[in-house]
A and B are shown apart, each in its own frame.
Chain A
């Protein structure tokens, strides 16, 4: 639903009194900039407000509450499930001006940041202290820490270090009534319920996060990156299981299939062999002695599983080049087809060979090429369905293929999203993994926060089962060159 109804002048005036005239956008041309995220599902907000402080957020929320206007928080808009799209209109709360790193405590390895801080900017700012922020979504040059918190974002290095929730110690929240409250804090394991853990990944539906206290990790002493080249996808999948099964948990363990290699190599020239069926990008890190040993062991396993070549890079341009292929993979897919639908699901990693085969079969059945680039170590798949939306019926068929792939993930004991969130896209799949009772318990959490339908209304929960289709169809038109996984 798109609400283009303009707001009363007095509401605009009140908003301007809170954040300043320049930071309330209401002209149609301005609003259009904020109607989509990285999925291009579109829906116009009635007004965009860009606060600079938590106090301003609180005042805006109070006002919205009073007028019954929904509030949808937004970071950089790089999300891949439509989470930042203001489906019900109302106030779009763009948090990108709140981008100060308020404190870095390098002794304790903590940083206090505002939600609009860009993920990579945080890691860059703390690098002089030998620290970094571990969650590293491929969109990290653009995405915000606030967005990471909302979606519980992952990234290639989550295999060893966990996702966003494992790196956040506390949050300052603005609740639905405008009250500001801290949950968690710099002291670990405080007694009481883990409200921090409940808010992370709540997709902006419970509260507006206005400050984030994150844990920083120490940069490793040594890193070794390996690119293992396989003639058969199954060999690569088996290598993944063998590495983990033999007791190695690399920092990252990523896979790219033939379609991705063929999209990436001509554009980015990173040295992936064009005739390979799959490559694994593996990173081991830690103290020098361990890295040398583990690197050699992992290389040996890859060769034993049939790798025809294993290239090794230490830190420097060669390592950056190997990673450039991975991080630019989704963008490069634009070479292969006018549209692509990025999927996100997780399966137990030992089921990868079978699941990838079945994903391929879905593509064949519907006549689509499917490109796989994903976090193999975590079993977190990203099949990309390549299609042409200009051809009549293709969008619908791609949508159907996407549903079938999600179903395959669930049937293999997995889930419908590993890191992109439910948002608008996957509401209708929620019943595949949760019972009515499971969902009812989740709704009690919503009641605890008293947010009702104030914050990011309509997201995450299945509405009626038919209209879920609309949300997903919007996502389908999506995924431009700025998409990342």
Chain B
């Protein structure tokens, strides 16, 4: 369904007439911008909001399909594109527009990388507590959502975004929200763009809340052979009102597991907690965690892994979206108390398949990443496994989202899982905002 050569050349002419020289890439370089094996006709590299508008207006006019592209770290997410003609790369929109540290707010262009953003904030003792790779762009993180260890204490992406500027499919630029921390003027349109995989509009600018870096961070771990016991301990720790920046159960430990690079040399699974705050508050949390571990019969007690633990980076890496014939990465979304039964079912499936999935269970938010690795996961074997996992999630009242798999698998499943009763509203939303299917057509929930 991708454009014919003639159509593509009309699109390129239209783009070339609207963009300054050098903003349009064709030829072999477009290889790097494949989505699920599909190659675009061209790559646009706009350097201003006006240029983004021009690109989208041209693409929409030619009924071309556009994939917004930030750092490219999460392009494995989503269903197969229905069509794909143009990558719209936002990386050149990378300026900090306004930053007043004492306001704890910041306005930036969306193409800034998380690393650049973090380094500017750090100079003022602040940070944006979202989990994302350093080379990801802010716009990409806002569009895909971030689901990592920090979600436990700091909440979802939506809690940190005050407003966005968006360029719509027809090239029109609008804004929602504002730059101040409290604002109820008009509909809260911002929420719709967050986590929408760029299917409603391309985020080009965002105003964010930021927060002071904790004075002290200390990672704590306790290990035990049973994943179930570790979850019990974690759930208990979660109910104590301690100041924990993150609280995750992960494993299996050992040289082949996700935490091989860390100083955890036990076997089994680990409860990982990050105590944050002042030194006194952190010490208090660590004492309480030690006591809890001992109450739960964790014979090894708790160990301290220091302030700059590699553990959290390893967990983010485990959850990174990927295209691979040998991987099935599933994010289960559950209510926290369903994490235990989910893990029991996962263990049963592991035994049945002979695979040992890597696991990161963010128990406080009910978000569990399970990364299965083995030959043939792109084929029938993977489909069977995914069907069983999806069924488990549904019966537990949750959902399972595929965030890493083979392209082949995407031909057979909706990676977002089954749409719910509110899908009719979502479909109408997509129709209202992108009537010609210009933005990432087919890639979102229900192949919107």
Residues of A at the B interface (CB closer than 8 Å) are 107-108, 130, 151-152, 154, 158, 162-163, 165-166, 181-183, 186-198, 200-202, 218, 220-221, 241-242, 244-245, 247-249, 286-290, 292-294, 346-350, 375, 378-380, 413-422, 426, 430, 433-435, 437-442, 444-445, 447-450, 460
Contact = CB atoms under 8 A, between A and B. Distances in A.
A158 B243 CA distance: 18
Nearest to B422: A183
Given A194-B192, A241-B102, A242-B102, 11 more contacts: A163-B182, A188-B333, A189-B145, A189-B147, A190-B420, A193-B192, A290-B277, A346-B178, A422-B185, A434-B175, A438-B186
B158 interface: yes
Nearest to B400: A191
B174 A441 contact: yes
A448 B285 CA distance: 47
B283 interface: yes
B188 A165 contact: yes
A437 B187 contact: no
A414 B178 contact: yes
B180 A414 contact: yes
Contacts of A426: 185
A348 B278 CA distance: 27
Contacts of B190: 197
B173 A187 contact: no
24 contacts: A108-B337, A154-B184, A181-B422, A182-B422, A188-B156, A190-B420, A194-B194, A195-B422, A197-B194, A198-B188, A201-B184, A247-B215, A249-B211, A286-B243, A346-B182, A350-B100, A350-B102, A422-B184, A422-B185, A433-B186, A434-B175, A439-B186, A445-B187, A445-B189
Contacts of B125: 247
Given A190-B399, A290-B277, A413 B180 contact: yes
B405 interface: no
A419 B180 CA distance: 12
B206 to A, nearest CB: 15
Which 5 pairs show the lowest CB-CB distances between chains A and B? A197-B191, A247-B212, A245-B102, A418-B182, A290-B281
A116 B196 CA distance: 32
Nearest to B181: A378
A444 B420 contact: no
A193 B180 contact: no
Contact of A188 (B194, B284, B366): B366
A108 B432 contact: no
A249 B191 contact: no
B351 interface: no
Interface string B330-374: 000111110000000000000000000000000001110000000
B281 A289 contact: yes
B224 interface: no
Contacts of B446: 192
B262 interface: no
Contacts of B417: 191
A416 B337 contact: no
A425 to B, nearest CB: 12
A344 B132 CA distance: 36
Given A181-B422, A289-B280, A350-B100, A430 B185 contact: yes
A32 to B, nearest CB: 29
Interface in B234-268: 239, 241-243
B420 A108 contact: no
Nearest to B145: A189
B366 A152 contact: no
Nearest to A110: B335
Most B C-beta atoms less than 10 A away, residue of A190, A191, A421, A426: A191
A293 B281 contact: yes
A349 B367 contact: no
B189 A248 contact: no
A434 B335 CA distance: 38
A190 B155 CA distance: 14
Contacts, number: 246
Contacts of B105: 348
B182 A107 contact: no
Interface residues of B, number: 82
Interface stretch (B26-34, B82-90, B113-121, B423-431): B423-431
A445 B192 contact: yes
Interface in B183-205: 183-192, 194-196, 200
Given A181-B425, A289-B281, A449-B425, A248 B185 contact: no
Contact of B173 (A286, A413, A437, A442): A437
Contacts of A201: 184, 187-188
A189 B364 CA distance: 13
Interface in B425-447: 425-426, 428-429, 432-433, 444-446
Contact of B426 (A151, A193, A350): A193
Contact of B192 (A162, A198, A347, A419): A198
B432 A448 contact: yes
A478 B440 CA distance: 50
B172 interface: yes
Contact of A193 (B174, B280, B421, B429): B429
B336 A108 contact: yes
Contacts of A417: 183-185
Given A415-B185, A419-B184, A187 B398 contact: yes
B176 interface: yes
B363 to A, nearest CB: 11
Contacts of A247: 125, 212-213, 215
A346 B181 contact: yes
B8 to A, nearest CB: 30
Interface in B84-119: 100-105
Contacts of B444: 192
B307 interface: no
Given A195-B425, A197-B191, A347-B180, A293 B278 contact: yes
Contacts of B183: 346, 415, 417-418
Given A220-B241, A438-B176, A348 B365 contact: no
A191 B180 contact: no
Interface centre among B180, B192, B429 (most CB of A within 10 A): B180
B425 A194 contact: no
Contact of A192 (B173, B365, B398, B416): B416
Contacts of A183: 422, 425
A288 B281 CA distance: 8
B300 interface: no
A329 B320 CA distance: 51
A152 B425 CA distance: 21
Contacts of B280: 289-290, 292-293
Contacts of B189: 198, 441-442, 445
A258 B231 CA distance: 54
B102 A349 contact: yes
B243 A188 contact: no
Contact of A348 (B100, B192, B401, B445): B100
B37 interface: no
